């Protein structure tokens, strides 16, 4: 039998490696930004076109590369960060494998310009699909500029799997956030299709978070600080009342490297136990500083997962630190036996001597003695309330009653022996007030979750939440497509704060929102004003609804108008539908059943879940 194992060509090996390192344009952005940081840059500029599908360019003012280094940087496993295996456990840089540039160059058109400070001219290299097209000298400023064009041009299958521009841009912004928050000492700029998205000046951790997520974020943050032999913890957690239904604002950084850790995330949630509403997730921006020897970064190609040497101790320290911070800033109650804040002396009273209280007694006061009016009175005396009225005055109470009520002279006690008393009729009912008969139909609510109604062949059990989702969904679709939605005017405009990214997302569906009944008012930096809202939505539900909508848009927003309309209607229906546990009046039950079966597709929700089940007489008979 002939040999069947063979070595892969370099360009194929590079494309396979690219599949591990580069899943989408955001992966390229992450690698290039980290390279710029490792090059000791103080200003980094990110330029994006068509969500990275056409162009990704990173410009920095770092140390630059020599001619030889510029050429070697595109070879596989060529790195300046490690020399032997032991160096893997003492990493203080971002990249170290030497795979990123080689993988990117295998699947895109790459142009590199770089120059060191002492050199007069720089180096320009052009590569297409791992093939070096040209290498020559060029005039450029100190640092490195790298352009990645036409990503996945030679792997059409991978390019076809990319999402819409909005989704891919969202992933790029996420990576940009993660890198920028870890390095507030570096100035970051980001441009998309020629317009500025972010301009982040050099600042501290708190200012960088506020610059990214908007000015209103500052009042939501609670500082977290702790230093032990195992770990140094710093950063911020969000106040419980600002918790969101999505996990967007949750960040862990270990030695200035963003990581994902469900285990540590559980520690944060445990610290917030009892403070959050159902299905709410706290915001946190936690920076951990540990000994590089105590962690293993090299367990995942994207380096977002880290193995800790002592996870259990880290869990306990993180949980107790956040709990202490929440209590210290009066966000959560704590037991502190050392000091009671309510017993502290106010500042304005410190240093003052206490005055002895004085007691004044009016020795001439007698409550049983008649009191006379003062100099301005009429001179009449008034008896106190303790003085009894004469016994003979009781007859005055009955004066005049003869003219109002006159009993017949012939009235006797026998005539009152047949007095009837009104009484409330009590009738037994299996379903109490939740039963309503309309003709031959009986509709009632079961466990505040299901609506049960009879039909000719048996009975129908309807899930009230799912049924209402379908009803609201179809009503919204009609309103949006026909643009005849009815709005309820607000007495006072509703102002909600959003980040730059969220405002950009809302702009993409602004027309559809207006067709559902939202009326936009003034828009300022980080705030949007609503002067009217749809009739199906209450004012207190608007923020939750838009939060859910933004979460849906970030993950699966399509490009076409109809798909955006469909997604918008689904999101609003999911947010405003009647929840399980809400008691409905009999009229509402019957209306819900009638409205569901009047829908064009009553059997399923917008998410393709069943809305009701049918039990025929035969099904019931089989149970006996």
Q: What is the DSSP string of 147-172?
A: EEESTTTT-HHHHHT---HHHHHHHH
Residue range 209-328 forms a domain whose CATH class is alpha beta
Give me the pLDDT at residue 399, please: 64
pLDDT at residue 45 is higher than 90: yes
Q: How many CB atoms sit inside 10 A of residue 212's CB?
A: 21
**C-beta of residue 160 within 8 angstroms of C-beta of residue 124:** no
Separation CA 490–CA 531 (nearest Å)? 6
3.30.1370.100, 3.40.50.300, 1.10.10.10, 3.40.960.10: CATH of 442-613 = 3.30.1370.100
CB burial class (10 A; 0-12, 13-18, 19+) of residue 359?
A: exposed
Work out the percent of the chain whose per-residue pLDDT is above 90: 11
More confident residue, 298 or 534: 534
Closest of 217, 218, 294 to residue 248, by C-alpha: 217
Give me the pLDDT at residue 285, please: 92
Q: Residue 23 region, left (φ>0) first, then alpha (ψ -120 to 50), else beta?
A: alpha
Give me the pLDDT at residue 611, please: 87
**C-beta of residue 188 within 8 angstroms of C-beta of residue 32:** no
Q: In 84-213, where do the E strands start and end?
A: 109-115, 122-128, 131-138, 143-149, 187-192, 195-200
Structure tokens that stand for 134 in this block = 């040209």
For 594, phi then psi, to 5°, come to -65, -40
pLDDT at residue 267 is higher than 80: yes
Stretch among 19-33, 67-81, 520-534, 575-589 having the lowest mean pLDDT? 67-81
**C-beta of residue 78 within 8 angstroms of C-beta of residue 72:** yes
Give me the pLDDT at residue 618, please: 85
Separation CA 96–CA 92 (nearest Å)? 10
Residues 153-159 have a mean pLDDT of 83
Separation CA 87–CA 293 (nearest Å)? 10
Give me the residue spans of the domains in the chain: 10-200, 209-328, 442-613
Give me the pLDDT at residue 145, please: 92
CATH architecture of the domain with range 10-200: 2-Layer Sandwich (3.30)
Give me the pLDDT at residue 438, please: 41
Structure tokens that stand for 202 in this block = 């050099």
> First and final CA of the chain: distance in angstroms?
68
Q: Tell me the β-bridge partners of 446.
A: 450
CA 62-65-68 angle, 5° bins: 175
pLDDT at residue 384 is higher than 50: no
Structure tokens that stand for 614 in this block = 């049918």
More confident residue, 487 or 463: 463
Task: Evaluate whether 10-200 and 209-328 have a shared fold.
Answer: no
Give me the pLDDT at residue 274, please: 81
Work out the percent of the chain whose per-residue pLDDT is above 70: 75
Stretch among 100-109, 288-297, 298-307 having the lowest mean pLDDT? 298-307
Give me the pLDDT at residue 109, please: 92
Give me the pLDDT at residue 382, please: 46
Q: Which of 216-230, 333-347, 351-365 has the highest mean pLDDT?
A: 216-230
Residues 444-448 have a mean pLDDT of 82
Give me the pLDDT at residue 434, please: 45
Per-residue pLDDT tens over the stretch 344-356: 666 666 677 777 8
Q: At what angle do helices 542-556 and 165-182 cross, to 10 degrees?
A: 100
Give me the pLDDT at residue 404, please: 52
Residues 35-45 have a mean pLDDT of 89
Residues 90-94 have a mean pLDDT of 59
Give me the pLDDT at residue 376, please: 47
Give me the pLDDT at residue 355, please: 79
Question: Which residues touch 91 (CB under 8 Å, ≥6 apart)?
Answer: 81, 82, 292, 297
More confident residue, 411 or 366: 366
Q: Which of 177-191, 201-215, 408-422, 566-580 has the highest mean pLDDT?
A: 177-191
State whether residue 486 is helix, strand or coil.
coil
Per-residue pLDDT tens over the stretch 547-584: 777 777 766 555 555 566 777 788 778 877 888 888 88
């Amino acid at each position: 039998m002939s040999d069947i194992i063979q070595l892969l060509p370099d360009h194929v090996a590079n494309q396979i490696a690219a599949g591990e390192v580069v899943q989408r344009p955001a992966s390229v952005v992450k690698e290039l930004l980290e390279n710029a940081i490792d090059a000791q840059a103080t200003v980094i500029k990110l330029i994006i076109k068509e969500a990275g599908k056409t162009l990704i360019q990173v410009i920095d003012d770092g140390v630059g590369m020599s001619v030889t280094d510029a050429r070697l940087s595109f070879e596989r496993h060529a790195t300046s960060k490690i020399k032997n295996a032991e160096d893997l456990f003492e990493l203080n840089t971002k990249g170290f494998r030497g795979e990123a540039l080689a993988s990117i160059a295998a699947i895109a058109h790459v142009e590199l310009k770089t120059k060191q400070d002492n050199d007069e001219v720089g180096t320009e290299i052009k590569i297409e699909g791992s093939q070096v097209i040209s290498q020559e000298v060029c005039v450029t400023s100190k640092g490195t500029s790298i352009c990645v064009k036409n990503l996945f041009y030679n792997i059409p299958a991978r390019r076809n799997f990319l999402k819409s521009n909005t989704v891919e841009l969202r992933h790029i912004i996420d990576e940009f956030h993660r890198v920028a928050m870890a390095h507030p000492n570096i100035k970051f700029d980001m441009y998309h299709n020629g317009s500025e998205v972010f301009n982040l000046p050099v600042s501290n951790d708190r200012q960088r978070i506020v610059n990214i997520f908007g000015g209103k974020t500052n009042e939501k943050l609670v500082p977290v600080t702790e230093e032990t032999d195992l770990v140094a913890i710093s950063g911020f957690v969000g106040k419980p009342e600002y918790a969101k239904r999505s996990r967007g604002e949750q960040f862990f950084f270990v030695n200035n490297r963003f990581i994902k850790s469900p285990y540590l995330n559980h520690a944060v949630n445990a610290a917030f136990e009892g403070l959050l509403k159902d299905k709410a997730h706290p915001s946190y921006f936690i920076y951990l500083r540990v000994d590089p020897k105590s962690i293993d970064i090299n367990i995942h190609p994207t380096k977002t997962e880290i193995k800790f040497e002592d996870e259990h101790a880290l869990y306990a320290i993180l949980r107790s630190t956040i709990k202490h911070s929440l209590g210290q800033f009066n966000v959560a109650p704590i037991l502190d036996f050392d000091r009671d804040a309510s017993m502290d002396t106010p500042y304005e009273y410190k240093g003052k001597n206490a005055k002895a209280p004085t007691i004044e007694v009016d020795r001439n006061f007698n409550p049983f003695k008649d009191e006379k009016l003062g100099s301005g009175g009429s001179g009449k005396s008034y008896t106190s309330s303790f003085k009894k009225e004469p016994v003979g005055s009781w007859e005055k109470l009955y004066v005049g009653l003869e003219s109002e009520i006159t009993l017949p002279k012939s009235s006797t006690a026998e005539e009152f022996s047949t007095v009837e008393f009104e009484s409330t009729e009590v009738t037994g009912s299996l379903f109490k007030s939740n039963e309503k008969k309309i003709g031959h139909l009986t509709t009632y609510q079961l466990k505040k979750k299901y609506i049960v109604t009879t039909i000719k062949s048996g009975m129908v059990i309807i899930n009230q939440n799912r049924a209402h989702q379908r009803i609201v969904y179809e009503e919204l679709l009609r309103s949006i497509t026909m643009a005849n939605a009815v709005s309820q005017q607000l007495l006072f405009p509703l102002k909600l704060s959003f980040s730059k990214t969220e405002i950009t997302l809302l702009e993409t569906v602004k027309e559809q929102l207006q067709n559902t009944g939202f009326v936009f008012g003034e828009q300022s930096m980080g705030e949007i004003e609503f002067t009217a809202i749809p009739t199906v939505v209450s004012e207190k539900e608007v923020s939750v609804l838009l939060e859910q909508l933004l979460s849906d848009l970030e993950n699966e927003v399509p490009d076409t108008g109809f798909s955006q309309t469909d997604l918008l209607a689904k999101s609003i229906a999911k947010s405003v539908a009647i929840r399980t546990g809400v008691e409905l009046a009999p009229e509402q039950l019957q209306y819900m059943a009638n409205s569901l079966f009047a829908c064009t597709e009553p059997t399923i929700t917008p998410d393709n879940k069943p809305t009701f089940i049918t039990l025929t007489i035969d099904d019931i008979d089989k149970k006996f």
